[in-house]
Amino acid sequence: MNLRLYTEFGTLKRVIMHRPGWEIERLTPQNTSELLFEDVPFLEAMQKEHDEYTKLIKDVTDAKVYRLRQLLLDILVDEHLKNSILKDALSQANQRNISEDIISTYSTAEIINLLISGLRVNEIKKKLPNFKNSELKEENYLIYPSPNLYFMRDPAAVIQNGVISSNMKYSGRQFESHLLKLIFTNHPEFKNFYHEVFPGDSKTNDCPTIEGGDVIVISPKVLAIGCSERTESRAIQKVAKRVLTERTVERVYEVKLPSKRNFMHLDTVFSIIDENLIVTYPEAMDTLLETFVYKLDSVSDNNEIKIHRESIKKSLISILKLEIPHLEVVKTGYGDPDFASREQWYDGANVFAIGPRRVISYDRNKLTNRALRDNGVEVLEIDSSELSRGLGGPRCMTMPIERKII
C-alpha cells in the first residue's frame, strides 16, 4: 500500500468506511438543517443497510474494509493522542480544560463514541456530578455530533501523489477531517505512506475549503476538482500547484458547479466506471460550461514555480472526451428528464466502482441501473431507504485508499 490512487475504477483493494451509530439519533426535525440533513433516518434500518453494503464489498472484491471506530481504537491507546483529540473536540465549546477529567472517567471505547456521537452537558453530569458551567444549558453540546461521518468520501481524498486532507465548509463537519488526519499520521498501517498534498503549510484561519466529494481522478496524469458551494477556487489552486510541482499530475481541471443542492459535489454530477465509461446527470453536462485547466508553466533556475491557469470555453462532457479516448456516456434516469431529476436527488450518478464496469448502486435508481446494465456494466444494488436520507450515494460512503493499478 502507498496511499495513492491512479484511477476511479481499478479493482478495489482497501477502503475506509464508517457504520452509522448513535450520532444519527442526535438528529431531530428541529436540527436537521443545522446538521446538514434533509430528514431524520431510522438508525437500526440504516445500520442494516450499511452492514449489507459493507458485506457486499468484502464478498465481491476481497478488499480490506477498515472500520473508522477500530482505527481510532488502535491509535487512542496513546494517552497523549487521546488527550490531544479530546481537546480538539472540546474546543468549539471552550471546554478544553475538562479533557483529563473525561479520560480518567470514560473508557477509550466510550471516548470514541463521544468523539463521533457528541456529548451534552446533562450527559457529562451523570459521570462527573461536580461539572459546573453557568454559561451552558443542560442540552448544550460540549462535543458536537458528526452524523455526516458515514459519508467517508468527504473528510479526505487519496489522489495520484498523496492525500488531500479536507478543510470542510461547515463547522459541523470540520472535526471529521481531524479524525482522519489523526489516523493517517499515527496508525502503523498508514503513517509511513502518508504524504499530505493539502493543506500543507496553510494557516488554519486562512485555509480555503475543499471536500473530498469534489475530487475525481480522471486518469493517472489528470485530476478534476469541483469548485462548488463547499470547495473554493483558492483550494483548487493550492492543490494544482502542489501536484504539478511534484510532476505526478500534468493537468488539473477546476470545474465550476452551480449552487444547487443536487450539485453538492462533483461526484454527484458524474462518476468514472471504466477507462472510457462514465455515468452522468444529463442536466449537469449541459449546465457546466465554465472550466479552468492548470498546467505547469515554468520552473526558474532558483526553483520558482509558475502555474498557468486557462479558461476553457467548452462543456464538461467535451473536456472529458478530450481526456478520455472513445468516451461512452450513460445518462441517469435513462436520459428521461423527469426520472433523471428524480434519481439525481438520490445520487443516481454517485455509484461506487469496485472494478472496471462493476458498480454498487442504490436499488431505488431503477432506470439509471437499467441504463448501466444495457451498457455492459455489472450493477450490484443495495437497499437505500434510510442511507439515502442523508443525500449521498454509494461513492459518498467510501474512502478508497488502494486500488489495483491498471
Which entry of 112, 272, 396, 399 is annotated as an active-site residue? 396
- Tell me, yes or no, if 227 is annotated catalytic: no
Q: Which residue has the cell 461539572?
A: 131
In sequence order, what are the beta bridge partners of 382? 362
User: Distance (Å, rounded) from C-alpha 369 to C-alpha 247?
Assistant: 38
Residues 392, 398, 399, CA angle at the centre, nearest 5°?
A: 130
User: Distance (Å, rounded) from C-alpha 284 to C-alpha 273?
Assistant: 18
**Distances in Å between the alpha carbon of 174 and those of 126, 180, 196, 259, 386?**
28, 11, 17, 20, 24
**Distances in Å between the alpha carbon of 188 and those of 71, 74, 110, 182, 335?**
10, 9, 22, 12, 47
Q: Which residue has the cell 490531544?
A: 84
Query: Is the separation of the CB atoms in 82 and 100 below 8 Å?
Result: no
Residue type, 169: K
Where in the sequence numbering do the catalytic residues fall? 396
